[in-house]
Amino acid sequence: MVVAPIVESRESELRQLLATMNLEPGVANPENPLVPFGRLRNLHFARFVILEDDTREDLAAYGRPPASATKSLAFLCDFDGPISVFRRDLVACAEGGLRQLFSYCQPAPGDDLLVWLGRNERPASASYVNWIGRTMQQVREEMALYQSLVPLLAMDGQSSDARQVWNNLRQFVRQEQAAGRLTLSPREPR
């Protein structure tokens, strides 16, 4: 997670720019020109969000100093592999867009975007893990497998017993792998 304070007078412009990344509200275009998420092969999830601390009145009620009224731009993502590798891939894929988005923040990125991202990185307070060890490559391959098997099940499942359906599906998968139309990579050691 990368977080940087937004220049207050530029928030409206930033919101307009963020909206250009979407196919519809709340749905990012994976090929948007700023940060083409779909080109990052190890990316599971990513989101830009404007953060605002709504605890100011709560803190005041308890006599505590209020939190900053400054809003921040946060970039959150989950990915496979080491952060240093992902950060390099991200910058290689979207340096111009990242610079444009974070130019609305103070301080804006300097000459070395990798260093700036590292300085503005914040540790996660909590994280969600669905299947430990499942890479994006595996997720994509399994989706392709699923999509190739569904039509067969619609045809084969009505006329055969369960054992025959299972054998037919296994034979189909072997043939597709041999022809190079279906890839199922072995699990990577973790």
pLDDT digits over 10-36, tens only? 999 999 999 999 999 888 999 999 999
The more confident residue out of 154 and 190 is: 154
Q: Kindly tell me if the per-residue pLDDT of 157 is higher than 60.
A: no
What's the pLDDT at 129? Answer: 66
Q: What is the pLDDT confidence band of residue 128, given thresholds at 50, 70 and 90? A: low
The more confident residue out of 144 and 93 is: 93
What's the pLDDT at 4? Answer: 96
What's the pLDDT at 102? Answer: 97
What's the pLDDT at 131? Answer: 63
What's the pLDDT at 86? Answer: 94
Of 45, 41, 35, the residue nearest 140 (C-alpha): 41
pLDDT, the chain, mean:
88
Sign for the CA dihedral angle at 47, 48, 50, 51 comes to positive
Q: With left for phi above 0 and alpha for psi between -120 and 50, is residue 26 left, alpha or beta?
A: left
> β-strand 22-24 against 27-28: which pairing, if any?
antiparallel
The more confident residue out of 156 and 110 is: 110
Q: Kindly tell me if the per-residue pLDDT of 158 is higher than 80.
A: no
Question: Contact, 68 vs 107, CB < 8 A?
Answer: no
| Eight-state DSSP code of residue 189 | P
> β-strand 2-5 against 72-79: which pairing, if any?
antiparallel
pLDDT digits over 79-113, tens only? 888 899 999 999 999 999 999 999 999 999 999 99
Q: Kindly tell me if the per-residue pLDDT of 156 is higher than 70.
A: no
What's the pLDDT at 80? Answer: 85
